[in-house]
Chain A
Amino acid sequence: MSVKDRVIAIIAEQAVLEPSDVTMESTLEDLGIDSLGLVESIFAIEEAFDISVPFNANEPEESDFDISSVATIVAGIEKLISEQAK
């Protein structure tokens, strides 16, 4: 399974949706994921990929990790994975 598919599966589970309902353009707000759901999703992503996501819930916009859509989240994770592999 690709990184994208795994991330979509995690987000879909959090949103109680089918993965097919989660598109790359979806925002977390569209999917009904609140702040508590977001930190739980980030935890699940960290567990799944064994990475550490730089995200502070107090200042999400200041984080290096862009959560504005599923696409930016996937891109951020791919970057973290590739950095870790170096």
Chain B
Amino acid sequence: MKRVVITGAGTINALGRDVPATLEAMREGRCGISDLAFRDVERLAIRIGGQVKGYDPAAAFNRQQLALYDRFTQFALIAAREAIAQSGLSLQGELADCSGVVLGTSGGGLTTQDENYRSVYEEGKNRVHPFVVPKLMNNAAASHVSMEFNLCGPTFTVATACASSNHAMGLAFQMVRSGSCSVMITGGSESMLCFGGVKAWEGLRVMSKDACRPFSANRNGMVQGEGAGVYVFEEYEHARARGAEILAEVIGFAMTSDASDIVMPSKQGAARAITGALRDGRIDREEVGYVNAHGTGTAANDKTECAAVADAMGPQADRLMISSTKAMHGHCIGGTGAVELLACIMALRDGVIAPTIGYEEPDPECALDVVPNEAREAEVSVVLSNAFAFGGLNAVLALRKV
């Protein structure tokens, strides 16, 4: 089996337009959640989100590209450009043939669907732009990344709701580890912050109207975000041979299904994913210093997740740190694990643990060290990233310091 390392990272999200800006915001515990701004927002009960504000698509893309790129594709490309530039890779010939793209998304081109449904249903128009289908399809982002960077190997999209990008990165990891691919561009992207996207979430009554406060006793729901995180996963010897800077090593991955309920999480399913990732990476649980939580700020997730971590980690659960960065950037749904992996890399490389901001009252059902409100300096050598999706689908990644 091959070793797999990360040689490039890119992002755009409510905290920043790139990785340095995002990490700075995470270190400072800044909140990127603000009043939502889009058409018909006044008809929503939920009016806050981690929206990417002041973003000018025309600064990154030309007119023809914008006719084809939904916002989730734009985010994916912006993040991929940053990641691939950092890696220094140029994909040609045989290398291009064994390099691909696996991206997660849940809603795909939801903004495109929303705008065009509005146009034909509400406004009564009978003609839509010819690119509606290629713009809204869930694989559009992965395909455009493949086209822009000449990635000719396995390329596809994974949709497992809030675990999409962890599933995507886990598959990319397995493909490089098995030797079938040298380089995989992976992560996820989401842009659901439009009227229909937020209205649908409103219907579930799990959204907070004021803030995301993971693990805090007074938490009252999740807050949606948007954005993308994209990484270059590369075979270790390949990266070493070309002198690439290695950000972290991906060492383990596991996925499980609760097989029980379409929305309520299960402690057992989550715990099996965590222990599975440890087993896959041959990791002693005493080595794990930090867990980037799924931590949505809902009543159900946070207590179930803490119980699962306690079960899976045993006595180590009381020694490790666990934080949810969703209180800062919002829940980026199918892109969230990818945005959050930045906090894992920051923990390993910089020795800085991103905080859980918005934390106000201890909850006895979430009695772990959640790194409340302020970032902390700590040396950690192994970290985990949790993602637990609607549908009962769980995906946990393990990373090690290099």
Contacts and interface: CB of A to CB of B under 8 A. Distances in A.
Interface residues of B, number: 7
B127 interface: yes
Contacts of B127: 43, 46-47, 52
B60 interface: no
B61 to A, nearest CB: 14
B67 interface: yes
Contacts of B63: 16
Nearest to B134: A36
Interface of B: 63-64, 67, 127, 129-131
Interface of A is mostly: helix
A66 interface: no
A52 B125 CA distance: 13
Nearest to A57: B130
Nearest to A42: B130
Nearest to B127: A46
Interface bracket on A: under 10
A3 interface: no
B66 to A, nearest CB: 12
Contacts of A40: 67, 129-131
A39 interface: yes
Which of B127, B130, B131: most chain A Cβ within 10 A? B130
Contacts of A46: 127
Contact of B130 (A16, A39, A52): A39
Nearest to B63: A16
Contacts of A43: 127, 129-130
Given A40-B130, A43-B130, 4 more contacts: A16-B64, A40-B67, A40-B129, A43-B129
Contacts of A36: 130-131
A42 B130 CA distance: 9
16 contacts: A16-B63, A16-B64, A36-B130, A36-B131, A39-B130, A40-B67, A40-B129, A40-B130, A40-B131, A42-B130, A43-B127, A43-B129, A43-B130, A46-B127, A47-B127, A52-B127
A39 B129 CA distance: 9
Nearest to A47: B127
Interface string A15-48: 0100000000000000000001001101100110
